[in-house]
Structure 1
Amino acid sequence: MARHSTTLAQKIKDSLRAATAVETSGVEPIPEDGRSGGPGSSFTLWFSSNVQFSSLSSGMLATAAFGLGWSQALLAIVLGSAVGAAAIGVMSTFGPRAGVGLLVQSRLPLGRHGAAVPAVLVFFKACAWFAVNSVLGAFAVQTLLGTGFAPAFALVTVAQVAIALVGYGFIHLVQKTMAVVLPLLFIGVSVYGYTESDLGSAFDPAKAGPLGFAGAFALTVAIQAARALSFSSYAADYTRYMPADTPPGRLFAFAFTGTWLGSVWIASLGAAIGTIAFIGTPTDLVDQVLPGALATLTMLALGLSTITSSCLDCYSGALAWLIAGVRMARWQAVLVVGVIGGAIGWAAGQGDYWKSFENFLILLGNWIAPWLAVMLVHRFPTRRDDNPTVPRFGTGFASWLLGLAAAVPFMSQPGVYVGPVAEDHPALGSCAAAVAFATAGLAQYVLTRTRRPAAPAAGDTTHGTHTTKEIPV
């Protein structure tokens, strides 16, 4: 018994040592002898990443801004979260096979230079999310500790950067811990929010305005999907260390379930709170909704959840910066994301972010959706090249641009740009991402069908996928 206890303690100690060791790899392929972990870690990572204030905010928009009743909002949240969770689930399966992230793998269909464009967009997207979450986390810490904005902001940003600096193993360890801690902390506000809110609320035409019911419902679905879609470009970053033979079906199931459960729980809670009050910042939860002790516990939960979510932006944003062609070490790229994201967050400061938040989420879906469509068609092709050489710009880049172009008339970014279709039919203003996805996927399918099929070698069971050796890094 003593020997067994000693062995178990040693295993735990070794696991902790490995998880807290600073990651030395960048964007290069992870060798097979350096792989470890299983699909279960994808559940904890994506569950805890979705238990956060931005999920609460996106759900609150449905009732407080778009006028849906709570049950109507819940249905839209369930549907939108499923779309985003499916994207994260599928994209997670790309990591183990190749041992590199999605942006590296996109060099095959988009070309070496073509893939740099979405890499730059992912970098700036990560900086923007880092900024948003840093401000929200600072509000929570400021309220919790009673400090000024500056020290609270510094505490949150430094914590996020520190986790990302250590790297892959530590991020998974933190998310596993938070997958237990955060539900315990959010139970109180969940019980209070669901019991004190008006769950029987009806649709409010005055809030919906020209959107009408159909437009409000579709916009809620689109925002929920876009929030998770924005994470899907990161998905393979957190599975590339898993063994190549990791079952893709199990990996999809764990990633999908973790994302969907976290998103539906917290977004539906936000929709419930939205029937009571329109919450602009975490501080407003204390001032307008929650009683004293529960408010303190909730601020702790929001502060921790913001840090654990935003460290993903810092880590994956750094990898995107390297993939874009910038020559520096991974830790230096992490600091770049932290500095730029921190500067944006500091400039945004204590302003009202609601309309910007809504536009930001929708805009993300507009360009990420066609990129994901290209990657899916590339992953499951009916034909493929005899020699997968990488041009400067591949067919996938053209397909991606076609998808973006097709979406322009449907785009609805009030104060920035509203396309002719969205202007004449506001209810269709949330369809841009779907149009972009369908157009890019169809274009890539047609273009790849023109390629001459390669005859698989005897015993080759990987036809239609690519190995690490085929992907240029």
Structure 2
Amino acid sequence: MSADQSVVEKHTIGYVPPEDRHGKVRDLFTLWFGTNIAPLPVVTGAAGVTVFGLDLFWCVVAIVVGHLVGGIFMALHSAQGPQMGIPQMIQSRGQFGSYGALIVVVIAAVMYLAFFASNIVLAGQSLHGIADPVPVSTGIILGALGSGLICVIGYRFIHALNKIATWVLGVGIVLAIGAIFVSGLPGDFWSRGGYTTAGFLATVSLAALWQIAFAPYVSDYSRYLPAEVGVRATFNATYLGCTLGSILPFAFGAVVALAMVPGTDVMTGVRDTTGSLGTPLLVLFLLSVISHNALNLYGTVLSMITCVQTFVARWIPTARTRVVLSAVVMAAAAYFAIGVSGDFISHFVDIVLALLVVLVPWTAINLIDFYLIHRGNYDLDSIFAADGGIYGRFNPQAITAYVIGILVQIPFMNTPLYQGPISDNLGGADLSWIIGLVATGPVYYLLARGRKLAPSELTGAVTAA
């Protein structure tokens, strides 16, 4: 078997050369559609009803608005992948410098590790719900092992599984929505909840942040595509796949939340409100958790390798490195998840919201730099150099804009650590992400527009098509 046909992905954080590029841009649609039909988005979508008190109409409107807006940023990051051929976090060195990028890399690793741990908890709970004799802890271990195997095999297998998931889970969740309406709705289904500005804005934010949370690793799954697919096609396939694939389970969660007995766990509500489809749907969700959770483990491992390679520039990580590190992270996460499985999910959204406060300014800086400052023209030799090459170890313009982007969010924040006065006056709605994006982008552009390097300085350049 030739190297390019190997079952296990051979690349880690290095540049993917043209001869190793493969796939079709439409594969991005099925990847992100299939990835998002899972228990966690169902539970998150239900929060619009159970936490923020919206009725079905306004909850669905808020879900759609949030995903359509947040998906723009997510898909713009994805479109960088075929043009650069390197992981998103490595590419951030072109904006922040080799050391400056570390803060974002570490934050991304922690966030995706939290995603991974929460999903194996859900896997354990789902398996226990399907087969009661199976302890939650056993389900957590099995979920971690399944995701770990998919992660080790890597890019091709992840894409293949999500092609299947798009059809099976997509059809399954549509049938489940139909089953709820056919089986008879509770008397207060249409009258329960109502519109509040705070609840609407909070639900929009939750949906938008769901999309933005993918930003630090979304281009990791488009970097193998041939560069000639272009920015527009990559953006469209990713945007449609991720927004449609997210809106469907979020809306399903809202329907379940209104149809189930108040106070019931959402996944139990899925089983109880969908009739004969309940148990088969939970089985599909369990398989979905295991499959798409491999992306979180994959992103965590690449981020950790990036951190180490920053200080050991001569080190060339191999597939074996990725396999060994995946096993270590998987075992540690499973051990942790078993210990906190009782209340981890209830705090998960708060953890992600807190981390996104520091990721949103990075999103703005990365997109402004790629599309407006350098227009996709970066020097790969410098990106992988120990001293950051022409980008240096720290870029003061990016770091200044980044700090400003965090500070301006503080009055609008609503996290477990702090609630700003403006958020408090809005009934708890967290609009910090909007302020962070709007403020950081222009500040960075004004600071960095004179930093664009001349073509003669780009010795190992990769240029966007």
Q: What range describes the TM-score normalised by the shorter chain of this pair?
A: 0.7 to 0.9
Note the alpha carbon deviations across 1:139-185, whole angstroms, 9 max, x for none.
11222233121221111110001000111111111111211221233
- The answer on 1:439 being equivalent to 2:439 is yes
Aligned length: 437
Structure-2 change in CA distance of 1:232 and 1:22 (3 Å): same
Please give the per-residue CA displacement for 1:310-335, whole angstroms capped at 9, x wherever unaligned: 11001111111111125761222322
Check whether the contact 1:115–1:397 (CA below 8 A) recurs between aligned residues.
Answer: no
TM-score, normalised relative to structure 1: 0.85
SS of 1:246's partner is: helix
Instruction: Select 2:330's aligned residue among 332, 338, 348.
Output: 338
Match of 1:6 in 2: none
What do the CA deviations read for 1:161-210 (whole angstroms, capped 9, x no partner)?
100011111111111121122123324322123454566335448xxxxx
Separation (CA, whole Å) in 2 of partners of 1:260 and 1:321: 28
Does the aligned pair in 1 maintain the 2:107–2:355 contact within 8 Å? no
For the 8 Å contact 1:201–1:275, the answer to whether it is kept is no
Instruction: Answer yes or no: is 1:175 the counterpart of 2:162.
Output: yes
* Contact 2:99/2:394 (<8 A) preserved: yes
1:134 aligned onto 2:120: yes
Matches within 5 A, 1:268-283: 268-277=251-260, 278-280=263-265, 282-283=267-268
CA 1:284 to 1:73, structure 2 compared with 1: closer, same or farther past 3 Å?
closer
Residue 386 (structure 2) aligns with: none
Does the C-alpha gap of structure 1 residues 220 and 377 become closer, same or farther in structure 2, counting only changes over 3 Å?
same
CA drift of 1:362 comes to 2.2
User: What are the superposed Cα offsets for residues 315-356 of structure 1, whole Å, 9 maximum, x if unpaired?
Assistant: 1111111111257612223223313332332122133733x1
The one-letter code matched in structure 2 to 1:200 is: W
Distance verdict in 2 for CA 1:440–1:98, change over 3 Å: same
Worse-superposed segment, 35-44 or 389-398: 389-398
Distance 1:332 1:469 in 2: 32
1:370 to 358, 361, 369: 361
SS in 2 for 1:430: coil
Q: Residues 379-410 of structure 1: CA distance to partner in whole angstroms, max 9, x if unpaired?
A: 12257899981211112222122211111222
Distance apart, 1:303 and its partner CA: 0.2
Kept in 2: contact 1:218–1:427 (CA 8 A): no
Superposed CA deviations along residues 389-438 of structure 1, whole A, max 9, x for unmatched, are: 12111122221222111112221124x32123323x13474111111112
Q: Relative to structure 1, is the Cα distance of residues 118 and 352 closer, same or farther in structure 2, using a 3 angstrom cutoff?
A: closer
Distance (Å, rounded) in 2 between the aligned partners of 1:319 and 1:282: 31
| SS of match in other structure, 2:372 | coil
Q: How does 1:42-81 map to 2 (within 5 A)?
A: 42-81=28-67
- After superposition, the Cα gap between the structure-2 partners of 1:334 and 1:469, relative to the gap in structure 1 and judged at 3 Å, is farther
Question: Matched residues in 2 for 1:167 and 1:243: separation?
Answer: 18
Residue 20 of structure 1: CA displacement? 6.8
| Aligned equivalent of 2:224 | 241
**CA shift for structure 1 position 222:** 0.5
In the superposition, relative to structure 1, how do residues 221 and 148 fare at CA in structure 2: closer, same or farther (>3 Å)?
Answer: same
Structure 2 counterpart SS, 1:201: coil
1:91 maps to amino acid? H
Matches within 5 A, 1:7-406: 21-146=7-132, 147-195=134-182, 196-197=184-185, 200-201=190-191, 203-204=193-194, 213-277=196-260, 278-280=263-265, 282-286=267-271, 288-291=272-275, 293-325=276-308, 329-351=321-343, 353-354=345-346, 356-382=347-373, 389-394=390-395, 395-406=397-408
Tell me how far 1:120 sits from its aligned partner: 0.8
Q: Which moved more, 1:232-241 or 1:147-156?
A: 147-156
Could you tell me which runs of 5 or more consecutive residues in structure 1 were left unpaired when the two chains were aligned.
1-13, 206-212, 458-462
**Deviation, structure 1 residue 283:** 3.7
TM-score between both structures, scaled by the size of structure 2 = 0.87
Cα deviation for residue 36 of structure 1 reads 0.7
Query: C-alpha distance in 2, partners of 1:448/1:296?
Result: 55
Task: Tell me by how many angstroms 1:358 deviates.
Answer: 3.1
Post-superposition CA distance 1:104-145 (Å, at most 9, x none):
111011111111111111111111000111111111122223
C-alpha distance after superposition, 1:27-69 (max 9, x if no partner)? 0101111111121110001001110111111110001221101
Structure 1 stretch 369-378 or stretch 358-367: which is displaced more?
A: 358-367
Say which SS state the counterpart of residue 112 (structure 1) adopts. coil
